[in-house]
Chain A
Amino acid sequence: DTGVSQDPRHKITKRGQNVTFRCDPISEHNRLYWYRQTLGQGPEFLTYFQNEAQLEKSRLLSDRFSAERPKGSFSTLEIQRTEQGDSAMYLCASSEGLAAYEQYFGPGTRLTVT
């Protein structure tokens, strides 16, 4: 399967714990995006990378959130000291080239904070 993959698919954690999600984009896609989606809503932009450079962060990305893409391939999204409001689906997408025309989404990681 050469699509975008995310791991884990589901994560249940207790409030206050740290969690880390991983995204593997489509090979050779130089742009990678993270989104958060709550129930009944469309995805909201969190941050994006071009290669290893993090070029934009949404104001939704509080200090407890950090994203990395150290080698310009896979990316991780870490949430520290999780809160119940962090419960959501975290989606990763990737796109290729300077035109960055089409974003391909992964299946998402569903986080539940109890």
Chain B
Amino acid sequence: KNQVEQSPQSLIILEGKNCTLQCNYTVSPFSNLRWYKQDTGRGPVSLTIMTFSENTKSNGRYTATLDADTKQSSLHITASQLSDSASYICVVRSGGYNKLIFGAGTRLAVHP
């Protein structure tokens, strides 16, 4: 069964600190992996997209890594800001017509 699992479920950090979110997937066939940020009550917004051959991709303070051998990905947030408070969802694309398989997300709260 195609699955995407994320950890931790929730995380609280202080403003300015770094954090790392984890994603493990069992999806076949694998096309690419994305990280989305979803603010409460809003639709997800893409942060990064990584293909099979990419190990690291950065988008400002967000850095995603992908290990296709172990089927693991991480999202590292540097120097967190209050506006980083949101759910971060790991999504794996499977197949040729853009079928996306979503993880349950990690809810991040950044406190002052």
Contacts and interface: CB of A to CB of B under 8 A. Distances in A.
The B contact surface, by secondary structure, is: strand
B42 A108 contact: yes
B98 A103 contact: yes
A45 B43 contact: no
Given A42-B104, A43-B102, A45-B100, A110 B41 contact: yes
Interface string A51-83: 000011000000000000000000000000000
21 contacts: A4-B43, A40-B104, A40-B105, A40-B107, A41-B105, A42-B103, A42-B104, A44-B102, A45-B99, A91-B43, A100-B97, A101-B98, A102-B46, A103-B46, A103-B98, A104-B46, A105-B36, A105-B44, A105-B45, A108-B42, A110-B41
Given A40-B105, A42-B91, A103-B98, 10 more contacts: A31-B98, A42-B105, A43-B44, A48-B97, A56-B99, A95-B98, A100-B98, A105-B44, A108-B42, A108-B43
